[in-house]
Amino acid sequence: MGKSEQTWRNGISRRQALAGLASFMASSPLLHAQRDPWPLGPHRRFLGFDEMRDVFDFEPLFRANVPLSIYDYTAHGTESEFTLYRNRDAFDWVQLVSGGGVDPDTVDTTTELYGRTMPSPIMLAPTARQRDCHPEGELGMHRAATTVGATMIVSNVSSFRFPEIAEAAEGPLWFQRYATEQMGPNEEVLGMAQEAGAETIVVTIDQQASFYERDLHVRHTGGRARTVTRRTPQNPPNPYRVGAGRLWYTWELFDALKPMCEVPILAKGILTGEGAKKCLDYGVEGIIVSNHGGRGIDYGPSSLEVLEEVVDAVGGQVPVIIDSGFRRGSDALKALALGADAVCYGRATRWGLGAFGEPGAQKVLEILNAELKQAMAAAGVKSIAEIDRSIVKTNFP
């Protein structure tokens, strides 16, 4: 065998050559092909349960535990996700003012809402299909909430029926409803929820025409573009390919629903003082300031920056609750100082459930309550009743 033949025999194959070229190109800093699309942030490993220090520590493990489609569903906002990010930016525009400081052990976070004493104003926002996060789903979430005394708002689109969730633990439950245009289904579902122990009915009136661009880039098995809808009489085609299931909403909806409710009825999705006054005109007994976690309308305001406007419009006639973007106990304190009566957390509790199941959801709530106490102590307030506008400075754009 000649020298040329020997070189050819010991050389690489065409497949090896192409693989080598691909590896070379992928390593190019111009392509960023080997960058992890879901970086772990400052940590080089997943933290253990006992190492969790704040809510953000749970998110990477949640992301690793669930299919990408479930993570995307939990994470996404509508269209460009401007409002999603604005919800978090808004907390940078509110500064806490120290009032001299007190011992955190002396801080009392007890409050009262609709005649029920609550150990903390921190509540669980309604989020859909929690069984996607963990097999125990809403059952585990309710047990976690009960352990720390938190009130849970159960979503209209839960993995389990409301009576099953109510039987899982003894803590207080509220029920959230996406109303249907035909009143029969509303009456049946609201009757079922109240019979099972729902202490309030929360009617969501935002989320009317959401378009999730992130879901259009479905690259994983089981994903689905949530903007694509079936052509049915209840959901007719339209140029924007968005569902029409809630495009019919009018204020008169509350006239129809109130006779079905023997418990307080709240409106969720209010972002203006004018909307808050309309709620009062139609006999609504509570308001939740919310942009659906940035999933309702793009380029809208954060819930925090419109909170004072809503509170002023209500004038203390009904409780005002808030959600969207809350991740820390200090976030809750800022909202309470701007007039909220309670604060709901959604994604944060899902992260805990998806990371460690029921113990994870419980720990998230314990961390948030501990952070709230610490922030109150630093601001120099010993009780919820002492919180007022003087402990914050705002710089909303």
Dump the DSSP string for 124-139.
EPP-S-GGGT-TTHHH
Quote the CA–CA distance of 36 and 90 in Å, as a whole number: 28
* b/e 242-254 (16+ beta carbons within 10 angstroms → b): bbbbbeebeeebb
Quote the CA–CA distance of 134 and 177 in Å, as a whole number: 23
Helix axes 273-281, 303-314, angle to 10 degrees: 40
392-394 and 94-96 beta bridge pairing: antiparallel
How far is C-alpha 26 from the chain's CA centre?
Answer: 37
Cβ of 157: how many Cβ atoms within 10 Å? 11
Long-range Cβ contact pairs of 39-47 (< 8 A, separation 24 or more): none
Query: Two tokens at 364?
Result: 């998230």
Query: Two tokens at 1?
Result: 């065998």
Residue 292 bears catalytic tag? yes
Active site residue ranges: 292
